[in-house]
Structure 1
Amino acid sequence: MAVEPTGLPAAAEQTRIHNIGYRRYDGPRLGRSYATRSLFSQSLRGAYGLGRSAKSKVLPMLLFAVMCVPAAIIVAVTVATKAHDLPLSYTRYAILLQAVIGLYLAAQAPQSVSRDLRFKTVPLYFSRPIEHRDYVRAKFAAMSSALFILTAAPLIVLYLGALLAKLGFADQTKGFLQGLVSVALLSLLFAGIGLVISAVTPRRGFGIAAIIAVLTISYGAVSTVQAIAYNQDSTGAIGWLGLFSPITLIDGVQTAFLGANTAFPGDIGPSSAAGPVYLIAVLGIIAGCYGILLRRYRKAGL
């Protein structure tokens, strides 16, 4: 008895090959350096919510405004009262608003790297694979640049306002440049610390809490112990205690090398022997954070 095949002719009739328009790419392949710059640009834009949802823009833009509004108020008061100098120095501004900077870092550093680690992917397609050092370099530069924009913008407002108030051009320019150097170091230091913490804790919520805790607890503890040392006339220890908090490290560096007024109790800054130690500590932490990130992403396989 002959058995007819069942279903085969019908299946063959239903088989189709569709041309959906894919074409071979014949354009230039720009290599790893271009991919690194693209990742840097995407990460920097993302730090301010650009290219993301509307609600992602609210917090970074709000914190940016919070950083700039006090500078605008200072300028308005200076112009209105015809003061002979700004009531707040350029190097002191970021120190006083360090809580805002810390909150911005806690919000944006985990967003920059935590999801990549958690899902083992990046939000860009590359025609050529990038290496882990390219990823680290792009993310570190983007976070540092985002922090520099946040901290340098109010200094620009202060500087332009000082010129509008017809204050001394030479003195204001010198103070402005000193402030830029200070916030550049602060941006590199904070970016390194924030990214390392975020890379160790891929869960974004843990990263936010850990960054706030590290910055807040270290500053609170150092400030408390410095105040105790000052009240007990142990003034020699005040300068050395500042080595144990990121923000007091920056305070010590700008006091020792940029001629800034310190925020330490009793206006007692680092001694001549402690000044170089502050600078070495800041540069060492920045380099150490970069090295830790390289090691972390080498193991992660991104």
Structure 2
Amino acid sequence: MTGMSRPTNGAQIVDRGFQRYDGPRVGLLRSIWSVTWQSIRATLGLGRPARHKIFPVAAVVIAYLPAVVFVGVSILIGDVLDPNEVADYASYYGFITAAILLFAGLVAPEVLVGDRRNGMLAMYLSTPLHRGTYLAAKALAVGLTLALVTLGPPLLVLIGYTLDNAGPDGFGNWMVVLGRIFLSAVGVSAALTAVSMAASSITDRRAFASIGVVLLALASPAVASALVDGAELSPSWRLIDVFSMPFELVFRIYGEPGNFPEVSTANILLANAAWTIGGLLVVAVKYSRMVVAR
């Protein structure tokens, strides 16, 4: 305290001056994680009114409901029917594409567009974060949130089958399946994270970004099918199907032919890498040219 005026009518003015911050400095990684965690909270509606929780909760319920049913079937009639005949790990995503699409269209617009509209982007960039580390935090937030519907449900199936003695035989096989589940979740989340972030970097309206993601996910399979099945072009044209290729990669991770056996695994892997890298490049270019008033 550097000075104090005399009290007047019970009020006083205190001049504290400026002092250097001498508290703990947590570093850049902690700053990135702080932005990531706050973005996840905002997306899931944590600490926000109930209306912000409706769509996230609905997507999670849709994603986990089949897993609960399959585990229940394994427990109730496991001696009669092999659980893997009901649903194996590779085909599980076919039951929850709606939940994944809903999340992909919801998460990135909430994470990116909101900061540009409410001025938080300028505040973030006034901290030790720069545009690259800010986008890294946001990409991590989108990927981790998508993991709720890409990693959690098949992992629940594995645990449920294992507890019912219907899981993989032996510790080695169990770890192989676990590794495939993680690789599958990363493959699906990476491509959809990049594409949804690219759409969210182009517009300042959450609704437009969400609609763009959904339209791309619905239109690209139709276009690919028209070119291959209708126009009888090369099966390689199926690679433009941004929504089906991540799930096709899942089948290849499990060593299965998938829905498009005529397309090589190498090409499917390259297509997913192209969608992921391309989407992230769009985001990087848009944010590098973005004028942010501090």
Superposition TM-score tier, normalisation by shorter sequence: 0.7 to 0.9
For residue 5 of structure 1, what is the aligned residue in structure 2? none
Matches within 5 A, 1:108-123: 108-122=107-121
Is structure 2 residue 166 aligned with structure 1 residue 167? yes
Letter in 1 for 2:280: Y
- 5+ residue gaps, structure 1, are 1-12
**TM superposition shift of 1:212:** 0.9
AA matched with 1:253: L
Structure 2: give runs of 5+ residues left out of the alignment.
1-7
Give the equivalent residue in structure 2 for 1:19: 14
Q: Aligned partner of 2:268: which letter? A: Y
| One-letter identity of the residue aligned with 1:193 | V
Secondary structure in 2 matching 1:300: coil
Which sits farther off after the overlay, 184-193 or 276-285? 276-285
What are the Cα deviations for residues 225-244 of structure 1, in whole angstroms up to 9, with x where unaligned? 55558xxxx6x944x23301
Q: What SS is found at the alignment partner of 1:286? A: helix
Q: In the superposition, relative to structure 1, how do residues 292 and 244 fare at CA in structure 2: closer, same or farther (>3 Å)? A: same
Secondary structure (helix, strand or coil) at the match of 2:166 reads: coil
> How high is the TM-score relative to the length of structure 1?
0.80
Displacement of 1:155: 0.9
Q: How many residues align?
A: 277
Query: TM-score w.r.t. structure 2 length?
Result: 0.82
2:83 alignment partner in structure 1: 85
Q: In structure 2, what residue type is equivalent to 1:284? A: A
2:208 corresponds to which residue?
206
* 2:97 alignment partner AA: Q
| Distance in 1 between residues matched to 2:64 and 2:106, nearest whole Å | 18
* 84 and 23 in structure 1: CA distance in 2 versus 1, 3 angstrom threshold: farther
* Matched AA of 2:200: S
Corresponding residue for residue 180 of structure 2: 178
Q: Distance in 2 between matches of 1:49 and 1:123?
A: 23
1:20–1:294: structure 2 CA closer, same or farther, 3 Å change rule? farther
Q: CA deviation at 1:28?
A: 2.5
Alpha-carbon deviation of 1:174? Answer: 3.3
Instruction: Answer whether contact 2:195 2:280 (CA < 8 A) is retained.
Output: no
CA contact (8 A) 2:66 2:95 kept: no
Aligned to 1:252: 248
Partner letter of residue 210 of structure 1? Answer: G
Give the conservation status (yes or no) of the 8 Å contact 1:249–1:278.
yes
CA positional deviation for 1:68: 0.2
What amino acid is the match of 1:207?
A: A
Q: Say whether the 8 Å CA contact 2:197–2:280 is kept in structure 1.
A: no
Deviation at 1:254, TM superposition (A): 3.1
Q: Compute the displacement of 1:49 (Å).
A: 1.4
Larger radius of gyration: 1
Moved more, 114-123 or 243-252: 114-123
Q: Give the drift of 1:255.
A: 3.6
* Aligned twin of 2:221: 219
Distance in 2, Cα, partners of 1:119 & 1:111: 12
Matched, 1:32 2:28: yes
1:62 aligns to 2:32 (yes or no): no
Q: Is the contact made by 1:67 and 1:97 (CA closer than 8 Å) also made in structure 2?
A: yes
Q: Quick one: distance in 2 between partners of 1:54 and 1:196?
A: 28
Aligned pair in 2 of structure 1 residues 21, 52: CA closer, same or farther (>3 Å)? farther
Name the residue aligned to 2:39.
43
Quick one: distance in 2 between partners of 1:28 and 1:127?
19
Inter-partner Cα distance in structure 2 for 1:81 and 1:224: 42
Task: Say yes or no: does 1:281 pair with 2:271.
Answer: yes
Shift of 1:22: 8.5
Shift of 1:247: 2.8
* 1:29 alignment partner AA: R
Give the distance between the partners of 2:24 and 2:190, measured in 1 at CA. Answer: 34
Q: Identify the residue that residue 148 of structure 1 maps to in structure 2.
A: 147
CA positional deviation for 1:126: 8.2
Of the three residues 232, 236, 242, the one matched with 2:238 is: 242
3-state SS of 1:130 partner: coil
Task: Answer whether contact 1:199 1:296 (CA < 8 A) is retained.
Answer: yes
Distance 1:269 1:47 in 2: 39
Question: More displaced, 250-259 or 214-223?
Answer: 250-259
Give, in angstroms, the shift of residue 123 of structure 1. Answer: 9.6
Whole-Å separation in 1 of the counterparts to 2:17 and 2:153: 49
User: Using a 3 Å threshold, how does the CA distance of structure 1 residues 169 and 18 change in structure 2: closer, same or farther?
Assistant: same
Determine the C-alpha separation between the residues in 1 that align with 2:39 and 2:17.
29
What amino acid sits opposite 2:183 in the alignment? V
Output the CA distance in 2 between the equivalents of 1:33 and 1:91.
35
| Higher RCO structure (Cα 8 Å, ≥6 apart) | 1
